[in-house]
Structure 1
Amino acid sequence: MPSPPPPPPPPGALPVGFCFRPTNEELVRHYLKPKIVGAAHPDLLLIPDVDLSACEPWDLPAKALIRSNDPEWFFFAPLDRKYPGGHRSNRCTTAGYWKATGKDRLIRSRPAGTLIGVKKTLVFHRGRAPRGHRTAWIMHEYRTAKP
């Protein structure tokens, strides 16, 4: 039986100058797909799991394991369906909702150009749809083309 992966580093324990800047392809191929199939890889511990319906966007920075001055954080979040067996995602929180904006962008592997994922941009709106007020909070949702 393989030994369990090491615990994630405590916040602030990473070296000065450490940057986490994965490309879209790297996020899908090296983080999201292994997470979906249940791979035990220590790199996955850098990205915590969060329940987006239980967190307001302004609470998310404190949950990040990789702290920096950049307003960018990475999380794994299970897909929450609006209805059991339905296809619509539930993106509501207590204070508002995440609304998709723009078109989905395809993520292709290099150099083959194989479709490996999709990136969706969402904006947080305070209040309830359709009268919510747009905020400056933006989220990029990644999903795989094939699990």
Structure 2
Amino acid sequence: MAVANAEVDLPAGFRFDPTDRQLVECYLTKKICNQPFPNAMSEFDVFQTEPWSLPAENRYSLEHRKYYFFDLRNRRFENMDARRAGNGEWRIVKRKEEFAHSNNQLIVIKNTYVYWIGQGNQALMTRWWMHEFVIGRIYDPARGSPVAAYRIFKI
């Protein structure tokens, strides 16, 4: 899947570093509801490549290499705790950290992953981390949104 909005149309000096709540309420919720929002994130299959090969158009912090994407959640993974991506995998380190959406009808589920590279019979942990944000309903959290927001960064 290619980057949908390769040209990010942002004003000079714009610094895109949203908090978890801003990322969900100002971007993900509006994306799901087809409402207008600032053109700061595009769609990309974050599981097709290694994190260091992500499109530069979505990098918002040169020194920290932070990337932000939307991704359709239409894939099924054999193991939800370890998702293949490129020549490695994203392994979950913190599962289902939840907080309420401001409208109190939705719940936000945040999962945290670390990228591991396979080397021979071993796997080496990298310094790349990923936050996945999914919106579910308070009465049925398992029924999440078809789109997720991702923050990928190097520590």
TM exceeds 0.5?
A: yes
- Alignment-derived partner of residue 106 in structure 1: 98
Contact conserved, 1:10 with 1:65, CA < 8 A, in 2? Answer: no
- Alignment-derived partner of residue 21 in structure 1: 17
Identify the match of residue 135 of structure 2 among 126, 141, 144. 144
Larger radius of gyration: 1
- Alignment-derived partner of residue 35 in structure 1: 31
Q: Structure 1 unaligned segments of length 5 or more: list them.
A: 1-6
SS of the residue corresponding to residue 91 of structure 2 reads strand
SS of the residue corresponding to residue 58 of structure 1 reads helix
- Alignment-derived partner of residue 134 in structure 1: 125
Give how far 1:142 is off: 0.5
Which of the pair is proportionally richer in helix?
1
Q: Structure 2 unaligned segments of length 5 or more: list them.
A: 138-144, 146-155
Which of the pair is proportionally richer in strand?
2
Give how far 1:11 is off: 5.2
- Alignment-derived partner of residue 82 in structure 1: 77
Give how far 1:9 is off: 8.4
Contact conserved, 1:107 with 1:117, CA < 8 A, in 2? Answer: yes
Partners of 2:125 and 2:15 in 1: CA distance: 30
| 1:46 pairs with 2:44 | no
CA offsets 1:30-70 (integer angstroms, 9 cap, x no match): 21122223x04142x31011112222100125141646444
- CA RMSD, aligned part only? 3.2
CA change 1:96–1:8 in 2 (3 A) is closer
Partners of 1:46 and 1:65 in 2: CA distance: 10
Question: Identity of aligned pairs, percent?
Answer: 26
SS of the residue corresponding to residue 112 of structure 2 reads strand
CA change 1:137–1:61 in 2 (3 A) is farther
